[in-house]
Amino acid sequence: MPRMNDDQLLRYSRHVLLDDIGIEGQQRLLASHALVIGAGGLGSPVALYLGTAGVGRLTLVDHDTVDLTNLQRQIAHNLSRVGQPKADSARQTIAAINPDVQVRALRRRADAALLAQWVADADVVLDCSDNFATRHAVNEACVRAGKPLVSGAAIGFDGQISVYDSRGGAGPCYACLFPPGAAFEETACATMGVFAPLVGIIGTMQAAEALKLLAGVGTSLAGRLLMLDARAMRFDEVRIARQPGCPVCGSAPQAT
């Protein structure tokens, strides 16, 4: 585990002052690798907070480019980067704040074969995508590799977040709650709209859950789905259990 130098001790001093994190916890963050799928509304605050908090390596995956309509909520980007790959834009923003973080920016779609490679090399995975197909592919890769997944979603004024951690054989995975074969209505912010701060709230919470997992702090959201109604600014919590017949983490898993 790398030892912090004087500059790092100063930069991360507010973490070091926290008894739950301290020097050892911060050094665990510095030695960690987080994989972030999506560098848009959720991925922006996720990537920025993981970078500023000192997660040593970040891999950012996004196939899209920055568009003017993104700037209402995707805070990792700016007007001068319209047309640039989102992953590259987010990497530049992180580098301007904390150049010590190693950021790998990949302009790729997160298909199953690539996810198997990326997830295996990560300590925690954050799903900041915007469609069920990608979420299921990310979840399956995490279950296969035994890596914790922090998943968030936001549309309109409604957001949700949970941690899916199947390590130990007790926790549910994403497919336990949203079965791959079920018919869920796919909505996009391009047609439904999204309240700008909502992605910041959910994305920041995703970053917090990932940092807790990496530093070994507190209790994660595993087994709980937290839902936010931003109109009333009300959180509701639903307990979720592992499903024995789940096609991904159940007793007879199958490729989805």
In-domain check, residue 95: yes
In the chain, the number of structural domains is 1
In-domain check, residue 250: no
Question: Is the separation of the CB atoms in 94 and 174 below 8 Å?
Answer: no
**141-153 residue pLDDT tens:** 999 999 999 999 9
Quote the domain boundaries for residue 187: 32-239
**34-85 residue pLDDT tens:** 999 999 999 999 999 999 999 999 999 999 999 999 999 999 999 999 999 9
Mean pLDDT of 21-43: 97
In-domain check, residue 18: no
In-domain check, residue 173: yes
Judge whether residue 252 has pLDDT over 80.
Answer: no
In-domain check, residue 86: yes
User: Which comes out higher in pLDDT, residue 112 or 88?
Assistant: 88
Place of tokens 């949970």: 162
Mean pLDDT of 212-217: 97
pTM of the model as a whole: 0.94
Confidence band of 194 (pLDDT split at 50, 70, 90): very high
Q: How far is CA 48 from the centre of its chain?
A: 11
**CATH number, position 56:** 3.40.50.720
What is the enclosing helix (H) or strand (E) of 67? none
Radius of gyration, CA atoms only, the chain: 18
Annotated active-site positions, please? 189
In-domain check, residue 105: yes
Alpha-carbon gap, residue 215 to 174, rounded angstroms: 23
Confidence band of 254 (pLDDT split at 50, 70, 90): low
Residue 156's pLDDT is what?
A: 96
Alpha-carbon gap, residue 255 to 249, rounded angstroms: 11
Q: Provide the mean pLDDT of the chain.
A: 94
**Helices 22-30 & 196-215 angle (0-180, nearest 10):** 110
